[in-house]
Structure 1
Amino acid sequence: MNLARTRRRQALAAAATLLAVGAAVPASAAPAPTPAAPAAAPKLTGAVAAQAGTTWHKGIPPIATPWTDAVGPDNALPEYPRPQLVRDRWQNLNGVWEFAKAEVGQAVPAGQSLGERVLVPYPIESALSGIQRHEDRMWYRRTFTVPSSWKIGSGQRLQLHFGAVDYDAKVFVNGKQVATHRGGYDGFDVDVTDALTGTGPQELIVWAEDLTDATGQPIGKQRRQSDRGIFYQGSSGIWRTVWMEPVAASSITDLGLTPDLRTSSLKLTANAVKGEGLTVRAVARSRGKVVGRATGATGTEIRVPVLKPHLWTPDDPFLYDLEVTLLAGNRVVDTVESYFGMREIGTAKGADGKLRIALNGKILFNMSTLDQGFWPDGLNTAPTDAGLKFDLQQHKVMGFNAVRKHIKVEPDRWYYWADKLGLLVWQDMPAANTGPIPADWRAQYEAELHEMVREHRSWTSIIAWVPFNEGWGEWDRTATGRIADDVKRQDPSRLVNAHSGVNCCNSKGDSGRGDIIDWHEYNNGGPAAPSPDATRASIDGEHGGYGLKVSNHMWFGDGQAYEMTPDSATLTRKYVDNQRKVITAAQSCGISAAIYTQITDVEAELNGFWTYDRQVAKMDLKQVRAINREIIAKADGTPGNTPQPAPGTPGLTGVSFYPLDGTAEDAAGDHDGTLVGGPGYVDAKNGKGLDLNGSSQFVDTGAPILNTASDYTASAWVKLDKADGAFQTIVSQDGATVSDFFLQYSGADQRFAMSFAGVRALGPVKPEAGRWYHLTGVRDSVKGELRLYVDGEPAGRTSACLPQPAPTGNTIIGRGKYNGNPVDYLDGTVDQVHLYDRALSDTEIKQLYASGN
């Protein structure tokens, strides 16, 4: 295989021209063996050839990338598609195929020319495919010729490889069905030797069905029709490279590669077809020099020594070459080439005692973007390999060291470039629809999840698996925990993030399983700041989302983001200011990663660093890089300087007390309240109380009574007139745009809560309308949490460790404030409101409840 190694190194030299990324890129295996002559294109005759659809024409995307015009019939993703298992003979079957809509129950069109032309491997909805429409079912057809030098049938077999077909596929060779496959994001291989006829052209037909969001199949962000929101145009049919190669009857099918720093070795499992009784020989090299050898049986773990390993890191992504040979005695049966990096992912305690993510035993903050992997010209498929690489290169340019591949699985070459450029990859499982996965689809979802892990278990860059996002598809919290455990058993060498955004949306709640606590927060840009626990590190799984419109570079000609900005300078400033909060969240709360939304715009989402067409950088990337590198340097487990709160005012009366016995006077301080909207006094828990109508009435104390930058407590008796899906606030304090805190009834959860925007300490059960409850909310800045007490007993607590701003608005009884507007008016009666300049203890709160005041 010396020739193959030479070819790979030559290909590397051609491919290694990168943008300046500030990191060394090693000269390791660049798998690009020279392909055989291109496969024969379909030939048409007679009336079919005269039809208008028999010539391929590139469609016109709404906006084009820098690579759109480079795509044509002769160069549709010509690169070697399987970088971790390289042989020196192969043939690419990408290019122009025949195409037709398929009908239910239709016979296989063997021997028949189809009326349209499609460019494989671009999904049919894409402009690059030339079809540019959706079909639920479809036929693909072409012919190919096997090179005579491959000696198929004389000890060699012909393997046909499909990178991915979305979603159900059947494959026919010369009219004979040779394979079926279900799953839109994983590849499959077919031995077609026995279906070949003679030595001339062979007919290949593929049937595909993709009902997308009409079923329970994993689809990620795909929809049959884009909603001009957070979901995008679907991608059906063949969308990754199709290719073939000759292999020996006994041959290596895949390699499982796991570095082990503890023993300075690579754990290798080489699986093979008809490999019984054969020997595997593995040789590891560093820049051509042999650094380790090992032999063993197929299908068993072999330890390849790598003494004094050169560790792989984002700043030094060093990769070793690996040659694996299958032997029958001393006879070589099969040889493949691969590569690996020596690295280890885990957790370690920082100087502040909090559990954090560690690479190679050292704490390393993961500074990441959300990367959705969609393209305006190719949809699910990048137009070219250079385009595929571009997004990852820009991560390095902007100072990121990680990327979250968001509910999509990419072609192998994407992970190859992540390995070579040095990026830590958080790999999501593509979600099913947002509601619970139907019962009859759940086993399929889990099967595809485990197949994703199996196929990607050897990429150096991947450091975490994410089974669920924001509860999409989640059907049961216990099942989610079990699934996380199952993935961890399958791959104990990586982190498992059971549910990204467990605090959000359709989540069933924290299962307590996996290695990561992951929250999402877009309010004021975030970031989310959950605290780690004894066994799990914590991360901000999504935040940011600031947007900017760039004329002539928007998919729909318009769009939106979580917060729009008027120009690039403002967008850059918002980003830098927001990212400084990440440093605070890391130092004060202990988060180990922050994931900013997102690397590029996607359709109607305009919150990218780059426009969707990758033509315009929307921020000053030098400033972006500077703050990102600062975060990585400072978010290393060093604790922040959290000021200690003053002891506060003793006793159970508080700094302000509103008995509400016919007046809104402050019985403890000098902040008498003003009634707004004309509420009235009624018999209440202790004498009189104030009855509020749920739409316009509240009490304004006229001052910011509580120092929200320190510890405080708010307490009140309340009786709700209704307990439905509407929020109701009992006590709050106005902030600049959002209340500093809410002692409230959370309509979303239908439980009482002590809350910050996006963070809730929830009571355990739904309250009853018409019943009196004693509520106490505590902000404890030392422990970094919010606590809720109901009727004197602890009812809920949540991490809230970020330092809070000084007060800017008045303390309010009976409403809240959100996005600058008054909201969440109380519909019920409130009585005996106490405000404290300290965090009351459990004992004190129990005493306050017992007093009835």
Structure 2
Amino acid sequence: MCLQKGRGIGLALCVALPVALSAQIVDQWRYTLEAPQGPWQTAAYDDASWKKGNGGFGTVGTPGARVGTVWRTKTIWLRKRVPLAAALKKPALLVHHDEDAEIYLNGQRVMALTGYRTDYGVFPLADEHRALVKQGENLLAVFCKQEVGGQFIDVHLIEADQVPVLPTPEREVFRSDLITPWGEKVTDQNAWQSYPRPQLQRKQWQNLNGLWEYAITPVAQREPPKQWQGRIRVPFCLESKLGGVQKALRKDQALWYRRTFTVAAAERTLLNFEAVDYRCQVMVNGKQAGGHRGGNTPFTLDITDRVRVGENEVVVRVEDEQEGFQLRGKQTLDPRGIWYTQVSGIWQTVWLEQVGASYIRNLLIRTDAATGAIKITAAVEGGAQALAVRVKDGDRQVANSVGRAGQEVLLTVANAKLWSPRSPHLYALELDLLDDGGRVVDSVASYAGIRTVGKAKDAQGHLRFTLNGETLFHWGPLDQGWWPDGLLTPPSEEAMVFEIDWLKRAGFNMIRKHIKVEPRLYYYHCDRLGIMVWQDHVSGGKGAKWTFLKPDPVDAEWPDEHHVQFMLELARMINTLESHPSIVCWVPFNEAWGQHRTLEVGKWVVQRDPTRLVNIASGGNFWPVGDVVDAHRYPHPGFPFDQGQGGRFDGFIKVVGEFGGHGYPVKGHLWDADRDNWGYGGLPKSEEEYKERVATSIRMLNELRTQGIAGGVYTQTTDVEGEINGLITYDRKKIKIPAEQLAELTRVLFGK
């Protein structure tokens, strides 16, 4: 035990080894970030309009802090009521403050602390203040002011010689009032009822979205909980508004789900999860049915041996550490700046289907624009091997063929209608799996868009993107796919369609899907509406020193086990999405985030999918692999042509993979009006200045186009949490620049 003199009132006793909990710890506070009017320190004051939050309050990473509620502003006012069964013999305050704090007990100031601490200290009450402590309810009121660096405040009323061991706080997620028009319409009955797998469709299926029971337990618990804590609306995650819980999962906790479902017949039964973040185990009727590691792609469990005709129970256990080498994209435990609220648990559709003993498990669809070819390879489970395929254009059959499972089936469409943003034609596919007697044992529907992606030099010798042999400038937004009500989960299919359609009308022909894998229906609508996609891999892990496009880059060092998991999740993403004609480019790394073994990763992707282009590290460290050299520049676009000396960039398409980010706040449509809402280059003074900044960036991109730049990505589609640099507000209720006006501004990018 040590003594520490604080400036102001109080003497701190620093207890190195706290004793067991001797009094009730109250972590629930009322708080406000705006200066209250009236005697806010008194018990009679009405704090019903103040927000609720768990203590302590501050930023994750502040030394010694146990953050229950993130606080980032300069000032905060707090109140909580502490019940005592009896008056304390040696009353004291257990305090951690960063920085200055004033503390009131039952209406009177008892302590003023200046500066900051890096741990909790015990501050005995002065003799003249001990009488303020009473049996029954006591009011603690606190004001804290922050100037620089980390920040934190937490106060407890205790016995000075019985210092409690403070529990790990239940960390609150920020609860914004924002909700999208589609989120307002979500119910337990209509939550994501769309068929989730558009390129391998069966008529019979069962949707398991809706209300599930949930519980949060210590991570060491392996048996399902006996008591469930409430209900959660699947497929929305634990932290989201639409999920109905809005709690943050800690790495020392496990999240459990439970529901029942009915099976009518004893057939092969497949349980499909479109995405669960991050690691899960699944039990059916009390028996282990399988598990999965990786939070961004679909997986299927064959639960035939676990189900019975009639009612069945499914339980899902989830762990989500968020940090370290786990691939997580923009999720963080401490949302700020360009990092957003964590997402834990089920966050895409859960569904069931029953199939025969033999069934089509997966389809690989590739096409060739020059010959009108559609090439289909079917992966099949069971003994049936014959495959009959028909291609239709509307009601008219235009090609058919018979082949074998696991082998490429070639179908050629005469005078084929090619897929492009101008004409996104899709052909319907019908596939039958036949047994040795020619009987159909499985039937699925799919589709294909015939197109070929490539690159070619223009008359000036600059490499350009091509589609079906024609040069095409790639112009798209950075699209992060976050929502204020569903977080990573769009509130509905209609919400996704609105956004893709708006971008198309605004003049974009491409979307850079930024370190997120969307529901598979998203890519179907990109295919249908005609907008190309650059698909990022989800990032995580240790990053490299960021040297941009300069020579002699250095990769981050990754342990083999984490690199293997990175590659496994990359392969799963490609396996899931590679038949979509809209996807024209893979982006394994963003900037230098998690950038490691770059040449190895790039060569693997090039070999794995030779039908698309590879942008190895958008804005990251340049290594000579793949097809694209990509620079990021904010706020206005630029490209370091001088760093290509000695032919370093020869053979690579040059793009500006991020620029813009011009911010503009729309009152009433901010995620958190109290935080530091920001955009690149500072915020404009007016809407007119904002629009002129955007127009200037587009003019500068067009100038770069004449110098050899083949594509540009504007940041970004929508505001996201504290980033207010979207073309649309985070709640999708206000459009900052009309689509028609933006399309007119960008028309120059497609000129000669």
TM-score by length of 1: 0.64
Look up the match of 2:523: 415
Q: 1:189 aligns with which of 300, 309, 330?
A: 300
Look up the match of 1:360: 468
Secondary structure at 2:466 match in 1: strand
CA displacement at 1:433 relative to structure 2: 3.9
CA displacement at 1:568 relative to structure 2: 2.3
Secondary structure at 1:393 match in 2: helix
Is 1:596–2:704 an aligned residue pair?
no
Cα RMSD, aligned residues only = 1.7
Q: Size of the alignment, in residue pairs?
A: 555
Partners of 2:477 and 2:511 within 8 A in 1: yes
CA displacement at 1:533 relative to structure 2: 4.1
Q: Go from structure 1 to structure 2 and tell me whether the alpha carbon gap of 1:59 and 1:117 turns closer, same or farther (over 3 Å shift).
A: farther
Partners of 1:560 and 1:606 within 8 A in 2: yes
Question: Which structure has the larger Rg?
Answer: 1
CA displacement at 1:438 relative to structure 2: 4.1
Is 1:201–2:311 an aligned residue pair?
yes
Secondary structure at 2:688 match in 1: helix
Work out the CA distance in 2 between the residues paired with 1:245 and 1:633. Answer: 49
Look up the match of 2:624: 512
Look up the match of 1:283: 390
Secondary structure at 2:491 match in 1: coil
Matches within 5 A, 1:545-556: 545-556=661-672
Q: Go from structure 1 to structure 2 and tell me whether the alpha carbon gap of 1:626 and 1:526 turns closer, same or farther (over 3 Å shift).
A: same
Matches within 5 A, 1:754-765: none
Work out the CA distance in 2 between the residues paired with 1:533 and 1:59. Answer: 45
Is 1:338–2:452 an aligned residue pair?
no
Is 1:569–2:676 an aligned residue pair?
no
- Matched letter for residue 574 of structure 1: R
- Please give the per-residue CA displacement for 1:115-153, whole angstroms capped at 9, x wherever unaligned: 21100000100011111011132000000111x2xx32x
Matches within 5 A, 1:48-447: 61-109=176-224, 112=226, 114-136=228-250, 137-146=254-263, 148=264, 151-152=265-266, 156-197=267-308, 199-213=309-323, 215-227=324-336, 229-275=337-383, 278-328=385-435, 329-433=437-541, 435=543, 436=556, 438-439=558-559, 440-447=561-568
Q: Go from structure 1 to structure 2 and tell me whether the alpha carbon gap of 1:555 and 1:161 turns closer, same or farther (over 3 Å shift).
A: same
- Matched letter for residue 247 of structure 2: R
Look up the match of 2:735: 617
Q: Go from structure 1 to structure 2 and tell me whether the alpha carbon gap of 1:550 and 1:462 turns closer, same or farther (over 3 Å shift).
A: same
Work out the CA distance in 2 between the residues paired with 1:594 and 1:544. Answer: 10
Is 1:465–2:572 an aligned residue pair?
no
Work out the CA distance in 1 between the residues paired with 2:747 and 2:532. Answer: 15
Secondary structure at 2:218 match in 1: coil
Partners of 1:255 and 1:269 within 8 A in 2: yes
CA displacement at 1:389 relative to structure 2: 1.6
Partners of 1:167 and 1:183 within 8 A in 2: yes
Is 1:537–2:537 an aligned residue pair?
no
- Please give the per-residue CA displacement for 1:222-248, whole angstroms capped at 9, x wherever unaligned: 112312x00100111000000001111
CA displacement at 1:462 relative to structure 2: 0.3
Query: What are the ranges of 5 or more consecutive residues in structure 1 without an aligned counterpart?
Result: 1-57, 635-853
Look up the match of 2:126: none
- Matched letter for residue 600 of structure 2: R
Work out the CA distance in 1 between the residues paired with 2:627 and 2:217. Answer: 46
Identity between Structure 1 and Structure 2 (%) = 40
Work out the CA distance in 1 between the residues paired with 2:653 and 2:515. Answer: 21
Work out the CA distance in 2 between the residues paired with 1:549 and 1:330. Answer: 64
Work out the CA distance in 2 between the residues paired with 1:125 and 1:570. Answer: 36
Partners of 2:507 and 2:739 within 8 A in 1: no
Secondary structure at 1:313 match in 2: coil
CA displacement at 1:304 relative to structure 2: 1.2
Work out the CA distance in 2 between the residues paired with 1:62 and 1:437. Answer: 42
Partners of 1:172 and 1:205 within 8 A in 2: yes
Look up the match of 1:582: 701
- Matched letter for residue 128 of structure 1: L
Work out the CA distance in 2 between the residues paired with 1:571 and 1:260. Answer: 43
- Matched letter for residue 93 of structure 1: L
Work out the CA distance in 2 between the residues paired with 1:582 and 1:544. Answer: 10
CA displacement at 1:363 relative to structure 2: 0.3
Look up the match of 1:14: none
Bigger mean CA offset, 125-134 vs 557-566: 557-566
Work out the CA distance in 2 between the residues paired with 1:573 and 1:620. Answer: 14
Q: Go from structure 1 to structure 2 and tell me whether the alpha carbon gap of 1:621 and 1:264 turns closer, same or farther (over 3 Å shift).
A: closer
Secondary structure at 2:704 match in 1: helix
Work out the CA distance in 2 between the residues paired with 1:310 and 1:585. Answer: 33
Look up the match of 2:637: 526
Look up the match of 1:448: 569
- Please give the per-residue CA displacement for 1:63-107, whole angstroms capped at 9, x wherever unaligned: 111112211110111111111110000110000000000322323
Partners of 1:121 and 1:239 within 8 A in 2: yes
TM-score by length of 2: 0.72
- Matched letter for residue 525 of structure 2: W
Partners of 1:98 and 1:113 within 8 A in 2: no
Work out the CA distance in 2 between the residues paired with 1:553 and 1:254. Answer: 43
Partners of 1:59 and 1:129 within 8 A in 2: no
Bigger mean CA offset, 450-459 vs 569-578: 569-578
CA displacement at 1:437 relative to structure 2: 6.6
Work out the CA distance in 1 between the residues paired with 2:208 and 2:443. Answer: 23
Bigger mean CA offset, 380-389 vs 435-444: 435-444
Work out the CA distance in 2 between the residues paired with 1:68 and 1:290. Answer: 40
- Matched letter for residue 432 of structure 2: T
Look up the match of 1:483: 601
Q: Go from structure 1 to structure 2 and tell me whether the alpha carbon gap of 1:323 and 1:437 turns closer, same or farther (over 3 Å shift).
A: farther
Partners of 1:212 and 1:223 within 8 A in 2: yes
Partners of 2:502 and 2:739 within 8 A in 1: no
Look up the match of 2:51: none
Work out the CA distance in 2 between the residues paired with 1:69 and 1:104. Answer: 34
Work out the CA distance in 1 between the residues paired with 2:222 and 2:540. Answer: 31
- Matched letter for residue 405 of structure 1: K
Partners of 1:437 and 1:473 within 8 A in 2: no
Work out the CA distance in 2 between the residues paired with 1:538 and 1:352. Answer: 14
Partners of 1:123 and 1:237 within 8 A in 2: yes
CA displacement at 1:113 relative to structure 2: 5.2
- Please give the per-residue CA displacement for 1:812-833, whole angstroms capped at 9, x wherever unaligned: xxxxxxxxxxxxxxxxxxxxxx
Work out the CA distance in 2 between the residues paired with 1:621 and 1:297. Answer: 48
Work out the CA distance in 2 between the residues paired with 1:82 and 1:68. Answer: 22
Secondary structure at 1:193 match in 2: coil
Query: What are the ranges of 5 or more consecutive residues in structure 2 without an aligned counterpart?
Result: 1-172, 544-555
Partners of 1:86 and 1:337 within 8 A in 2: yes
CA displacement at 1:264 relative to structure 2: 2.0
- Matched letter for residue 554 of structure 1: L
